[in-house]
Amino acid sequence: MIKASAWGACRCVTRLFEQRLQLAKLKTLWSFDLLHTRASHLSTTPGETVPFRKQLKDEKKRKRITQDSAKHQTKGEGGVDEGGRKDELLEDERTEKSKWKLTVGLEIHAQLNTDRKIFSSARASTDEEPNSNVAVYDLAFPGSQPKFQKATLIPAIRAALALECDVRRKSRFDRKHYFYQDQPAGYQVTQYYEPFAVNGAVNLSANDVDLYDQFRHHPNSFLLRIGIKQIQLEQDTAKSTMTLPTTALLDFNRVGHPLIEIITLPEIHTPEMAVACVKKIQSTLQAVNAVTTGMEDGGLRADVNVSVSLRDSPTLGQRVEIKNLNSFQAVQDAIVAEKNRQVRILEGAGVVEGETRGWTLGSTETRKLRGKEGEVDYRYMPDPDITPLIISTVCDIFRQPVTFSQLIGNRILSATSVQQCLRPRTILLTV
């Protein structure tokens, strides 16, 4: 019995000696690494024994730090942490910009601030009971004749002069033929060939929106000028509310509401610039009391024409129109989505077709609505029932030494003071 106990004690001493010998070997093996990796993390005193479990954790941490450092170095010097992916996207965007050129033109439809419709005496109110403000001409009853309401021209002239347009003495109305459920006459009355205002401009400054990228290449220029081809009077269509895929409810209160369509030149080359242009036009029209509400309330809608071409190409690419955008975010997102779609087609050796497309907020792609109609498809013709519009005299109170864009851009002047500058004293009309 005594011999067995002595033998067991000897085995325990031997096992303890082996464990200490193995620990000493590991300390010798890892002493160099631990000296460099744990100096700032351990608060041990010289001669203090570090537990083996803690040594394993420190070694694992050291390897992770080394791997992360190597990963950042291989991704490139421009990006670090979450900025690495952003820098890669910016690099891709710079590469794409160096090859492709985006060109955008805007068509903005704004409801004029008037009490009556443009060709009938019905009230121009859209927030009352559906189909309660409708005249027989609005419904295109046979034998009904249009009667131009002179008061609708006052806010239109305010808008034209605020956008630095030339108001023409004589203009005409045309018929734009197309068949749709919201157009009872089968055509829309507009001014295609001879609009009442031409040759305007929108002046953008760096304060309008975030246009730093546009202005940093032109340090001596504080304005970015986007030309306006024309402003034309036209009538609005009915409001359609889809209840089922094949059923739509129509409210004809909006038929005949006076609109102006502002058509810009294709001088916009970024989505941000397009949004800034729409915002500036809206603020200008609201400042001179020319429109009822803004884009957020449905009083202003935008159609954008997007084309993509090679940067060095002297000609523009195929134009694609995106209809009825009713928010600033929709304008920007639709332009980006359409640009990406056209770039994919062109890089795949495809051909971009001229068409009219739609956009739903939150989508990633535009959707095709129909093939793009041209001048022949709409069958424009002068309206035989409406005589030419002649503006005999516009008082010089509209013409100020300071441009209206500078007045509106001045933070000191209020919208009321701008409206007083634009208030007409003498306007003689012959219709």
Residue 82 lies in a domain: no
Asked, for residue 86, whether it belongs to a domain, the answer is no
Task: Tell me if 84 is assigned to some domain.
Answer: no
71 and 190 belong to one structural domain: no
In a domain, 141, yes or no: yes
Domain range for 26: 2-75
pTM over 0.85: no
Q: Please enumerate in sequence order all residues whose Cβ is within 8 A of that of 79, keeping only pairs 6 or more positions apart, or say none.
A: 85, 86, 87, 88
End-of-domain residue from the set 44, 75, 106: 75
| Position 89 in a domain | no
Boundary (domain end) residue, out of 42, 75, 108? 75
Q: Are residues 333 and 294 in the same domain?
A: yes
- Is 320 inside a domain boundary? yes
pLDDT digits (tens, 9 = 90+) for 120-169: 999 988 778 888 989 999 999 999 999 999 889 989 999 999 999 999 98
Same domain, 167 and 31: no
| DSSP letter assigned to residue 396 | G
For residues 29 and 125, membership in a common domain is answered with no
Residue 277 is predicted with a pLDDT of 93
Spatial CB neighbours of 50, under 8 Å, sequence gap ≥ 6? 34, 42, 44
Residue 317 sits in the same domain as residue 375: yes
How high is the pLDDT of residue 20? 67
Domain presence at residue 420: yes
Kindly state whether residues 107 and 35 are assigned to the same domain.
no
- Tell me phi and psi for residue 167, to 5 degrees: -85, 120
Same domain, 363 and 398: yes
Tell me, what's the pLDDT at 295? Answer: 85
Structure confidence by residue, pLDDT tens digits, 294-342: 887 888 999 999 999 988 888 888 899 999 898 999 999 999 999 999 9
Instruction: State the chain's mean pLDDT as an integer.
Output: 76
Q: In terms of domains, do 141 and 51 share one?
A: no
Q: Are residues 139 and 284 in the same domain?
A: yes
Q: What beta strand segments (E) does 286-426 contain?
A: 300-310, 320-325, 355-358, 367-371, 381-382, 389-394
- The model's pLDDT over 335-367, given as tens digits with 9 standing for 90+, comes to 999 999 999 999 888 888 888 899 988 788 888
User: Which of 183-187, 252-256, 369-373, 394-398 has the least mean pLDDT?
Assistant: 394-398
Q: Tell me what the mean pLDDT of segment 220-228 comes to.
A: 75
Backbone angles phi, psi at 292, to 5 degrees: -80, -60
Q: Does 377 map to a domain?
A: yes
> In the predicted model, what is the mean pLDDT of residues 41-50?
50
Asked whether the beta carbons of 112 and 260 are under 8 A apart, the reply is: yes
- The verdict on 119 and 161 lying in the same domain is yes
- Same-domain check for residues 165 and 301: yes
With pLDDT > 90 as the criterion, what percentage of the chain qualifies? 35
**Into how many domains does the chain fold?**
2
Q: Are residues 70 and 112 in the same domain?
A: no
Give residue 70's pLDDT: 63
CB 306 within 8 A of CB 98: no
pLDDT, tens digit, 9 for 90 and up, residues 60-118: 777 777 766 665 555 444 444 444 444 444 444 444 556 899 999 999 999 999 999 99
Residue from 381, 392, 427 nearest 191 by CA:
381
